[in-house]
Chain A
Amino acid sequence: MWKYILKRIIALIPVIVGVTLIVYFIMSLAPGDPATTILGDQATPEAIAQLREEMGLNDPIIIQYARYMLHLARGDMGTSYKTKKPVSIEVFSRFPATAKLSVMAITFSTILAIPLGMLAAVKQNSFFDGASMIFALLGISMPIFWFGVLEQLLFSLKLGWLPSSGNDYWYSIILPAIALGFHNIASVARITRSSMLEVIRQDYIRTARSKGVPYGTVIRRHALRNALIPTVTVLGIQIGALLAGSTLTETVFAWPGMGRFMITSISGRDIPSVLGCIIIFTLCFSVVNLIVDLAYGFIDPRIKGQY
């Protein structure tokens, strides 16, 4: 298994090079000059020229990219065009907040979605099945932006239970995590339901029941474990997507994460900052995928033998 993990880690190098190459060239070739964007509407041509020179933007793109990669190989992610701070500081000061929010959101959605999907399958076509699926559907149908504001109005303004924004208290994460996690309940619950429905019709489930194993034990020990593989796959994809896609939640709740930083960096053509974010997201996505692949082995021992 260690050999397998090492191989996957080595495979990350070409992935990072490929991703940075694509992003660097797209950002550089896109219309919009970083110096003009920083200096704004009122800049003089002289000031723009001076800043372009200072930022090294007058060199050919390939030279700029090579210079960036050389620095990256030494662990230097460059300096933000906008803030003049090292990108590593900019990114790593925000990453913990985004990671915390994503983990809390996925925990919230998993705790709700897996039992919801499981019960919906066990009680197929019942009142509970319909209700849980409608609940899940509501989650995916309500825009995060709108749901977030509703949460703030109810829990902060009306009831005064939780802070409406920021990251000042340990409980500040509750509202953004619910807003972000609620959106994911639908897909996890639905995939768990359909997977469970498939598994509980299998012969080995019938065999277990005929041997007199209690229904609850059969569902928990035999059915759920086998039904979890597609759910874990979806959860893995969602964690990756949450890391990179929590921008709206971060904006509504003033959560000091990376999503907001990346969006402002893209609109400001702050190439080093965008690349810094992309590299972190790529690494996270790859690591989460690796963990998901390894988790298959623990869920299904037959897969473990293939590592």
Chain B
Amino acid sequence: MKKSVKILALLLALCMLASMAACGSKQETPAAPANNGSSTETKTETKTETKPEAKPAADLHCAVDAETVVVCTADETPSVTCRDHNAVAGGYVNHLTYETLLALDRALAPQPCLAESYTYEEQADGSVLWTFNLRHGVKYHNGAEMKAEDVVASLEEAKVMPKVATYAQSFNNVTAKDDYTVTMTTDGPSASLLYDLCSNGNSICPADLIKSGHDFNVEPIGTGPYKMTEWKISESLTFVAHEDYLRGAPQIKTVIWKIIPEGSARTIALQAHEVDYVIELDSNDMKLVEDDPNLTLMNIDGLSHNWLTINNEVKPFDNKLVRKAMNAAINKEDVVTVALNGAGIVAPGQTPYGQLGFDGTGYDHYDVELAKKYAAESGVDMSTISFDIICSDDTKRRAAQVVQDNLTSLFGMNITLSSMDLATYLSETAAGNFEGFIGGYTSSDMMSFLKGVYHSSNINASNKTRTNDPQLDAMIEKALATVDNAAREEVLKECSRYLNELCCQIPLYQKATLSAHNANLQGCFTGASGRFWVEEWYWE
């Protein structure tokens, strides 16, 4: 018996030693250049005309060589076409191979891309005719030149593809006037057209290939900076630089796109220099990356607005004061700490902070006394309220635990938490079979956000609070029809203020976009929407 105990102790000690060896501090690695120390980057890196000579590959600690970047991401794209998916993972890949008539710039404003310029004029019947002048000499990966008929074929195809058709509803009658001019109409003035045309679903592909039934999922042909050469299912995708690219061939000649689903495995691969860029860094590893002089952390305020959705059709949540009392009673700082490990900001309003038209006026922040005041005015005994919060992943569950704790301790509410897989959660919440759930919405423009989340036409779909407010609908429609930026911003701000007062749901946080890369990789910029531009990267 005594012997066995000794053996057990010895084995456990060995096991602990192995664990400690594995978890111990990293070996000394050569220091990175001083200007590339770990930092939380929110800066815009300016691309210079002449870049310094790259160091030898060995000094760069790059995964492969000085002309290659290995990017790693959590999810594999379901498709490399531009119209047969609506996945975020697919969007990243689409940005490498395809381009659109217009594209969102770093400030999320639509700018000419394949189109050189555009004009619009109102017609006698109230519709608006838009004319897009295309760039000359834009080459596809197969060497063909982009012409107006390609735009017509691409946008017509987008209209009938269910996964992207949402972004092809604003335009009609797409016509090629000549090889480099395309016209289309909108039912009236439409600000959403410009944003819709930036969507990956409206990417331009060769008309002859579309008509011949070319399999773009095997060979994606676009005008983007990179051409896909290989797709090893579940493993990686390989892209090579498009030498005839419109804005000049990218400096990075090969991009290897690896799929590593597990967060800590991605970080280990980055630290071990097996990959050069991690798109989705696990928030648990933020400190680890910050402390590593060979790595750079990018912590960007994101646009993903997350909230406690409450069903406004269910009593007592149809009472605005009850909703406002709940909103003021929840400590959102705690939610950010517990749910996101601090990788995010407290949502400062009912609409996403950072987008054109955000206004926090009239929004109630965490204030226990204010919460009590609203509760007293509501005429509802808050302690009698009981409801269930549905959570579809761990982050949401942690957020719900803080909400549960705050509302129970202040008002004595009876709150239960339940978990559902994503498919069930999406169906149940769209059908209105819930009282509360932790949800969110990500959009790169305020109009899509407002239309999706609050317009009554999206009840039973993305309007999960089931808000049905004619005044709000009218404001959203007015914003959609206001083409002038400054005027639209005013309408959107008015909408934001109205929503802050209405308090349809309880905003919790805006998740940060966390990425990390080898400190010697330069030109990396990530926008608030999570978009990044691989064609601007280079080794230094």
Contacts and interface: CB of A to CB of B under 8 A. Distances in A.
B22 interface: yes
Contacts of A228: none
A32 interface: yes
B69 to A, nearest CB: 16
Interface stretch (B161-169, B222-230, B490-498): B161-169
Contacts of B23: 150, 153
B530 interface: no
A261 B217 contact: no
Interface stretch (B138-146, B267-275, B472-480): B267-275
B432 interface: no
A41 B22 contact: no
A33 B1 CA distance: 59
B319 interface: no
Given A44-B461, A131-B7, A267 B421 contact: yes
A73 interface: no
B391 to A, nearest CB: 14
B265 A135 contact: no
B7 A127 contact: yes
A45 B27 contact: no
B74 to A, nearest CB: 10
Contacts of A285: none
A62 interface: no
Given A42-B441, A84-B79, A157 B162 contact: no
Contacts of B27: 158
A163 B269 CA distance: 8
Contacts of B265: 149, 152, 164-165, 252-254
Given A43-B462, A51-B163, A150-B22, A257 B268 contact: no
B18 A150 contact: yes
A82 B163 CA distance: 11
Nearest to B421: A267
A276 interface: no
Contacts of B233: 90, 93-94, 256
A150 to B, nearest CB: 5
A172 B233 CA distance: 17
B386 interface: no
A51 B190 CA distance: 26
Interface stretch (B176-184, B254-262, B347-355): B254-262
A85 interface: yes
Contact of A32 (B234, B271, B272, B424): B424
Contact of A83 (B79, B421, B439, B458): B79
B384 interface: no
Contacts of A56: none
B238 to A, nearest CB: 12
B426 interface: yes
Nearest to B269: A164
A251 to B, nearest CB: 5
Interface in B268-322: 268-269, 271-272, 274
Judged by DSSP, the binding face of A is: helix
Contact of B217 (A85, A251, A252, A267): A85
Given A84-B79, A85-B217, A152-B268, A260 B274 contact: no
A41 B426 contact: yes
A42 B462 contact: yes
A36 B4 contact: no
Contacts of B269: 156, 164-165
B430 interface: yes
Contacts of B123: none
Residue from A43, A135, A253, A268 with most neighbouring chain B CB atoms (10 Å): A43
Given A33-B427, A83-B78, A84-B79, A38 B262 contact: no
A158 B274 contact: no
A134 B26 contact: no
B272 A157 contact: yes
Contacts of B22: 150-151, 153-154, 158
A45 B430 CA distance: 9
B261 A37 contact: no
Nearest to A269: B423
Residue from A35, A83, A150 with most neighbouring chain B CB atoms (10 Å): A83
Nearest to A255: B234
A94 B441 CA distance: 33
Given A82-B78, A94-B234, 20 more contacts: A32-B424, A38-B86, A40-B426, A43-B166, A45-B461, A84-B79, A90-B233, A93-B233, A157-B272, A158-B22, A158-B26, A164-B274, A253-B265, A254-B235, A254-B262, A256-B234, A256-B235, A256-B259, A260-B261, A261-B234
What 3 A-B pairs come out closest when comparing CB atoms?
A: A32-B423, A256-B234, A154-B22
Interface of A: 30-48, 50-51, 54, 82-85, 90, 93-94, 97, 127, 130-131, 134-135, 138, 149-154, 156-158, 160, 163-167, 251-254, 256-257, 260-261, 267-269
12 contacts: A32-B427, A33-B427, A36-B430, A41-B440, A44-B462, A47-B166, A138-B11, A152-B265, A164-B269, A165-B265, A167-B235, A256-B233
